[in-house]
Structure formats: structure tokens, C-alpha cells
Amino acid sequence: MEQWTKEQFEQYKVEGKVALYVYTPMCGTCQVASRMMEVVTHLVPHRKVGALDLNFEEQLAITYEIESVPCLLIVDDGEITKKVYAFQSVPYLYELLKN
């Protein structure tokens, strides 16, 4: 999974189907979610998926009203259609991202 900046996310967002995984490195839950996201990104090649360390892009949390990490922003046709905070399982994430 490629690391993105806020500017890269804004650029990719208008291009169509993307997802942004937002995390912080010291978060234990984020470390588990990161492993799950690594698996899922290989299963959904039609959706561009990036990761962003929220410590370096605090403004993103304000702009998109991110309440906690980990957070997955799912974008379809330039609009955020879903914010996911509970990374339940790889199959669950796959179902969210495959459409």
C-alpha cells in the first residue's frame, strides 16, 4: 500500500474509485488493521488504495471529520461514500471495497 499525502488523496479522489486508510504508527489497533489492508489491497486491483499517517496531516482529520483511527475513507465518483472505523475482518473489508 502506497503512502499518500493529503494532496495526493485530493487528486486521486476526483479520479474515481479510491480508498484512503488513515492511521497512526503508535496505535496497536492500526497495526492490526494495516496488515488486513495489505491483504485486501491485493484483492481489489480496480480500486486505488493509499495510506496516510495522520500525525503528518492533521488537517485531514478536521476536513473529513475523522473521529478516530484506524479509519478507512471509501470514495466513489469523487465523493466519500463511507467512513469505516471497525476493521472487522479481511472478508468484511473486501466486501466494502470490491464494489
Per-residue pLDDT, 99? 77
Answer yes or no: is pLDDT of 16 > 90: no
Any idea where the domains of the chain sit in the sequence?
A: 2-90
Question: What's the whole-number mean pLDDT along residues 31-51?
Answer: 95
What pTM does this model have?
Answer: 0.93
- φ/ψ (deg, to 5) at 5: -100, 170
Answer yes or no: is pLDDT of 28 > 90: yes
Q: What is the Cα–Cα distance from 29 to 86, expressed in whole angstroms?
A: 10
Tell which residue, 68, 78, 75, has the closest CA to residue 22. Answer: 68
C-beta neighbour count of 39 within 10 angstroms: 11
Q: In CATH terms, is domain 2-90 a member of 3.40.50.1820?
A: no
> Does 70 sit behind a cis peptide bond, omega within 30 degrees of 0 on the bond before it?
yes
